[in-house]
Amino acid sequence: MAELRLENVRYRYGKKSRWILTGCNAVCEEGTVTSIRGRSGSGKSTLLHLIAGFDIATEGKVIWNGKDLERKGLTEYRRKEAGIISQSFLLFPTRTVLENVCYPLELKKEKKEEAQKKAIECLEAVGLSQELYHRLPGRLSGGEQQRVAIARCMAGEYPLIVADEPTGSLDEENAQAVMNLLKKVASERNTIIVMVTHDSEMAEQADVKLRLVNGQLQEV
């Protein structure tokens, strides 16, 4: 059973700089969506970067399935365990929709035919029509691009999805559709989703609701 655990996580950028995170504790279990809110500059993005494996805590532990994240293992962790969703979508602009979703399968050295079959299944699951599969991301709406990003995480079968303002650049209707999709992925695929958002309405729909205050996480 997948589990993400934060134990007294503290972080600062240098020995003489101020502490951004002063002791974060949380447990995220599979099949759940956790939302994290906080003021601008409170350290939300920093915390998400630690969870996503882009850096390690200055003090304390980020524990994935019982093992501490260590710098030497971060590349493998990001490749196999943690999928990323962002408000800027992070799609490859010169790859088609289908090629974007195939990307994590290419990293796993899957055969092209099998990779495309899985990618199409994921695109169908997020509700994208076939006519969009061979378009470049720049020719899609924001809501469609975010669906592609979610489909790519689904194709990669990441047990953890880290979402940075996933509805931030979307209108209300598309934002709700993406939120519904994230909840569906979590429940049906036993995925852990950790989401930073400014949108209180989206945050309230999460299974676990946290707020980052003075460098520490508080349950709402």
For the chain, the structural domain boundaries read 1-81+159-220, 88-157
What is the C-alpha to C-alpha distance for residues 193 and 170, in angstroms, rounded to an integer? 19
The CATH class that applies to domain 1-81+159-220 reads: alpha beta
The percentage of the chain sitting over the pLDDT mark of 70, rounded to a whole number, equals 100
Cβ-based neighbours of 210, under 8 Å, separated by 6 or more:
26, 34, 35, 36, 37, 217, 218, 219, 220
Query: For the segment 2-29, what is each residue's pLDDT rounded down to a tens digit?
Result: 999 999 999 999 888 999 999 999 999 9
- Single-letter amino acid, residue 63: I
Q: What is the mean pLDDT of residues 132-142?
A: 95
Q: What is the pLDDT of residue 108?
A: 87
Query: For the segment 171-194, what is each residue's pLDDT rounded down to a tens digit?
Result: 899 899 999 999 999 999 999 999
DSSP secondary-structure letter at 207?
S
Q: What is the pLDDT of residue 5?
A: 97
CA trace torsion 136, 142, 145, 146 (10° rounding): 170
- The answer, yes or no, to whether residue 138 has pLDDT greater than 90, is yes
Q: What is the mean pLDDT of residues 121-135?
A: 94
Residue 219 pLDDT grade (very low, low, confident, very high; cuts 50, 70, 90): very high
- The answer, yes or no, to whether residue 107 has pLDDT greater than 90, is no
pTM score of the predicted model: 0.91
